[in-house]
Structure 1
Amino acid sequence: MIPAVQRDHAVRTEGRVYGPEQEKREQLRLEAAERFERGDEATVIAADLRVTERTVRRWRKVRCEFIATSGAGRPPMFGGAG
């Protein structure tokens, strides 16, 4: 059985957040993503969003890996020769 703690209708299970806290965290990630695009430094983003620099670096890494594997920004490839 996984231990869980109830806080303000949010449930924490092994480091994962659910409920309203999850929505808040997702908003922070989206804000960080916009700031990555602008080229803001991780230390500045972390201070402004009140999270650790390590968290910001982890979000950036996950985002970069997703973009690299999803093909985002690449031109479409067409099969066959005319």
Structure 2
Amino acid sequence: MNCRFDDIAPDLPMITPYDEAHFTDYLRLLDADADGADWREAVAVIFDIDPGREPERAERMHATHLARARWMTEVGYAHLLTRDGELKH
């Protein structure tokens, strides 16, 4: 079991340390989604878990992390811009 990722991404109205640690992973999820990649392949590559062995967990991880990645592009980025008036990370 890979402990690098939580099973459920944050669902808070602010950027969390978890989000900051996973900016690159969020971008990878968004790219995979935009490219039409199968979510199971994305989970295997990005989260390093086998969706065949843990289908519910894999789907939950993918859905919540992709939703968080989308939130980052729609809302969360503004929090980065307002920290001390400069872009962070």
- Same fold per superposition (TM over 0.5): no
Q: Which has the higher helix share?
A: 2
TM range (shorter): 0.3 to 0.5
TM-score normalised by L of structure 2: 0.41
TM-score normalised by L of structure 1: 0.43
- Larger radius of gyration between Structure 1 and Structure 2: 1
Identify the structure with bigger relative contact order (alpha carbons < 8 Å, sequence gap 6+): 2
